[in-house]
Amino acid sequence: MSFDSISSVRIKITFLLSLVFLGFVLCHAEKGYDALGIDTGVTEKSDTSYIITRHQTILTLTGFCILAVTLILLAGKMRKLKQSKETLEQMNKELGEALSEVKKMSRHDPLTGLPNRRAMLEKIDSEIVRYKRSSRTFVFIMIDIDDFKSVNDRYGHETGDYLLKELASIFIELTREQDMVCRWGGEEFLLLLPETDCDGGFRVAEKIRITVESCLFKTDSIEFNITISSGVTDYSPTYNVHEHVKVVDDAMYQSKRSGKNRITSVSMIRKKS
């Protein structure tokens, strides 16, 4: 039996007992007894003062009974209200957590856990706002896995997924806390490095390239090496976001056309001048 059911039974029992007690008092009063059942010795109903006193006693006891039942009912209601409030607070908490999770999922890649394209575009917009205040430029690095299709074809898609997650960890490890690494799509990763020029971006890209090239990837009984190709460009207010992404993407493909496992840097600022 639930707590609410027990409380309801208690209230009903208390109410019935109050009615029984009230009936007991009324019955005794009519026979000339007081509220405790003691014979008052008064049998004549013409004794006006006694009748008034007796009726006042009955009314007082009746009032106490009604008050007791009312308080019990109010206590039950208050208990239910408290439980309802706690339930509502718990539901609001769970709803808030669910909304936070949905928001996180909408801005993160489910496989690697990295920010996705949407989150990166929001970050770029905020960096442009910061650039307008401070004139401190930032750079983009586009990274693509060389011959990634061959990895999937030879070792299976599970190995390909493992490789993407491992590379995500490497990129995070080799960049700063204020940098953003996102999975741009497929086997492409886009990095944004605040307060960094094109030469600084090239050095970071080279450090990443060397680390990946020297890394031996292992899964079950499989061991293999891979390389990456990258493009680097810096931000210039003369061009919009999509033009910057196209330039850095073209630079990355230029690295592939030039033999892969290399970096191509294109400065938008120098291009302007």
The residues that are catalytic are 187
Residue 8: other Cβ atoms inside 10 A: 13
Burial of 167 (0-12, 13-18, 19+ CB in 10 A): buried
Given a contact cutoff of 8 angstroms between Cβ atoms, the answer to whether 234 and 149 are in contact is no
Give the Cα separation of 180 and 192 in Å (integer). Answer: 5
User: Token digits for 261?
Assistant: 């496992």
In DSSP notation, 26-43 reads: HHHHHTTB-TTS-B----
| Helix H or strand E segment including 63 | helix 48-106
Burial of 192 (0-12, 13-18, 19+ CB in 10 A): buried
User: Token digits for 109?
Assistant: 């890649």
In this structure, what DSSP letter does residue 261 have? S
In this structure, what DSSP letter does residue 116 have? -
SS3 at position 199:
helix
Helical segments of 107-215, H only: 117-134, 148-155, 157-173, 198-214
In DSSP notation, 80-101 reads: HHHHHHHHHHHHHHHHHHHHHH
